[in-house]
Structure 1
Amino acid sequence: MNQEIVSVDLGSNSFRVLKYDCKNHQIISEYNEVVGMADGLVDTGLISKEAQERVVRAILHSVEVINYDPSKAVCVTTAAMRKASNNKEVLKYFKDKTNIEFEIIDGFEEARLTLLAVQYALKREKIDSKKFILLDIGGGSTEIIVNTNNSYEAHSFDFGIVTMTQKYLKYHDLHNDLDSRKKQIQEFLSSLKIDLNDYSFVATAGTPTTIAAIKLGQDFFSYDRNIVNGSIVNLEDLEYSLNIFKNSSKEEIAKLVGRGRVEFIEVGIFIYKAIFEVLNKKESIVLDDGLREGVAINYCLNKCKN
């Protein structure tokens, strides 16, 4: 029985591939690329032809780099594809061009799989994983998951770094919208009737890992997930990063965060900061593990059952 699985996560901005060892629950190799799939989606409701071509090129390049059979990979796609009115044609185009078949998953399945990855990651990092609130800031949606021992409650909120950046070009509008989003999140948390003080704050995805990397003296080219995993980010780190971005050129910011993410990183930090405020937390644990790891682990666990 083959112990290796390749999982693919096609998000609103990022394309992420993982080759995973099911037997030892270890990452063999990975591939990441910014594809900007949600570019223009807010205005048109469509995945543009240019974005489709970027995804096709990224898939073909990842096959070369990681050496996998795309027809056998377990592939999911999320908020941007959920929203796009041309999603069926787009997925057929990807299949015709690359032999890769994506499943559009809803926000709750996205949350479940991301939580699975984070539970494994917390155990690996030897961090208490009984009670925590998980934030996953995506390009087109933001998931908040409250994990209490062996049960969880999740909510997928209809905003992310790409869609919010495209929708609000003026900070005034952005912050007004964030205030209303904070109220929605507060309502969700209040409905659970939990004491937030009992829960640690865990964050995954590009914005938290970027802030952690900057704090640790890394940039996009020297990024090391093993050092970032389990690190702590606090509100001062967010302010420090915002100051760097405000006083840096686009080229300097690209070196820190990678091309294709420069225009979104500030909005990502504002979203991250808003969640800090809602939770009334001073710090969060940062993990690189997310949806693609969860897809791989989920496949491995199901394979073991059969």
Structure 2
Amino acid sequence: MNNQIVSVDLGSNSFRVLKYDCLNHQIISEHNEVVGMADGLVDTGIISKEAIARVIKAINHSIEIINYNPKEAICVTTAAMRKASNSQEVLECLKKETQLDFKIIDGDEEARLTLLAVKYALKREKIESDNFILLDIGGGSTEIIVNCNENYQAKSFDFGIVTMTQKYLKSNDLQKDLENRKSEIKLFLDSLNIDFKKFPFVATAGTPTTIAAIKLGQDFFSYDRNIVNGITVNLEDLSFCLNILKNSSKDEITKLVGKGRVEFIEVGILIYKTIFEVFNKKESIVLDDGLREGVAINYCLTKCKD
């Protein structure tokens, strides 16, 4: 049996591909691109033709770079496709044009697969991983997972860096909405009746990894996930990044965070800061591993057993 698998995660803003070694649980190669699939989604309720064209271009590019058979890849897509009224039409188009067969997964499955990846990552980084809180800030949704040994509770919240940015780009209601989101998250946490004081706060996805990279003196072009993984960031690091953003030109910010992320990074940091406050935490462990790794590991555990 072939012990290699390719997993594809088509998110609201990012497109991520991974070639994974099931036997040794190691990444062979990876490719990431910003595709802006959720651009205009808040206003129109649909995935635009322009966004579809960007996704198709990114898929074809990834096939060249990673060298994989699109018919054999395990492909998932998340919040933007869950929300779009033309999602089935878009999926049919992508399959016809690229042969990638995407499955829309719900927030619960997204949380389960992301948690699976993070558990493996914590073990790899030799970080105690029995009890922890996990945050995954996406483009169209935000998942919070509370892991207690072999059990976990998860909730997907209907906001992300892209949708929140689009919604409040021309208004001053962002802080008010973040306060409302804080109350919503607190209700979920209170319902669990757990003392979180000794639970490490773990965060994955683009915003936390960008902050960790900036803290390490990296930029988008020198980003090294192996160095970022396991790094701790604190509230001062978030303030430092916000200050850099306020005092830098668009070109300087693009060099730091990458094209297609410039307009969303500030809102991402503010969401991250809000979660820090809800958890009453002063620091957070950052990991690059997320959904696409979870999809690959899940496949390895269920399909590659001898």
TM-score normalised by the shorter chain: which range applies?
Answer: over 0.9
Q: Retained in 1: the 8 A contact 2:82–2:104?
A: yes
Q: What is residue 8 of structure 1 aligned with on the other side?
A: 8
1:136 is the counterpart of 2:136: yes
The unaligned stretches of length 5 or more in structure 2 are none
1:292 is the counterpart of 2:292: yes
State the AA in 2 paired with 1:28. I
* Map 1:1-306 → 2, pairs under 5 A: 1-170=1-170, 172-305=172-305
Q: Retained in 1: the 8 A contact 2:3–2:304?
A: no
The unaligned stretches of length 5 or more in structure 1 are none
Q: Matched residues in 2 for 1:281 and 1:204: separation?
A: 16
State the AA in 1 paired with 2:42. V
Look up the SS of the partner of 2:19 in the other structure.
strand
Q: Retained in 1: the 8 A contact 2:141–2:159?
A: yes
Q: Matched residues in 2 for 1:30 and 1:45: separation?
A: 31
Q: Matched residues in 1 for 2:183 and 2:304: separation?
A: 42
State the AA in 1 paired with 2:123. K
1:6-56, Cα deviation, whole Å (9 max, x unpaired): 000000000000000000000000000000000000000000000000000
State the AA in 1 paired with 2:44. T
State the AA in 1 paired with 2:173. D
1:82-125, Cα deviation, whole Å (9 max, x unpaired): 00000011000000100100000000000000000000000000
| Total equivalences in the alignment | 306
Q: Matched residues in 2 for 1:105 and 1:175: separation?
A: 30
Shift of 1:169: 1.8
Shift of 1:198: 2.0
Q: Retained in 1: the 8 A contact 2:95–2:101?
A: yes
The change in CA–CA distance for 1:171 and 1:266 in structure 2 (over 3 A counts) is farther
Q: Matched residues in 2 for 1:298 and 1:198: separation?
A: 28
Fraction of identical pairs, as percent: 78
Shift of 1:196: 1.1
1:234-291, Cα deviation, whole Å (9 max, x unpaired): 0000000000000001100000000000000000000000000000000000000000
Q: Matched residues in 1 for 2:47 and 2:172: separation?
A: 28
Q: Retained in 1: the 8 A contact 2:8–2:17?
A: yes
Look up the SS of the partner of 2:188 in the other structure.
helix
Q: Matched residues in 1 for 2:268 and 2:232: separation?
A: 17
Shift of 1:170: 4.8
State the AA in 2 paired with 1:33. E
Shift of 1:304: 3.5
Q: Matched residues in 1 for 2:172 and 2:187: separation?
A: 23
Q: Matched residues in 2 for 1:221 and 1:163: separation?
A: 26
Shift of 1:172: 3.1
Q: Matched residues in 2 for 1:100 and 1:161: separation?
A: 26
Q: Matched residues in 2 for 1:275 and 1:142: separation?
A: 10
Q: Retained in 1: the 8 A contact 2:3–2:22?
A: yes
Q: Matched residues in 2 for 1:100 and 1:235: separation?
A: 40
Look up the SS of the partner of 2:263 in the other structure.
coil
1:114-160, Cα deviation, whole Å (9 max, x unpaired): 00000000000000001100000000000000000110000000000
State the AA in 1 paired with 2:13. N
State the AA in 1 paired with 2:230. G
Look up the SS of the partner of 1:89 in the other structure.
helix
Shift of 1:182: 0.3
- Runs (4+) off by over 2 Å: none
Q: Matched residues in 1 for 2:150 and 2:133: separation?
A: 13
Shift of 1:219: 0.2
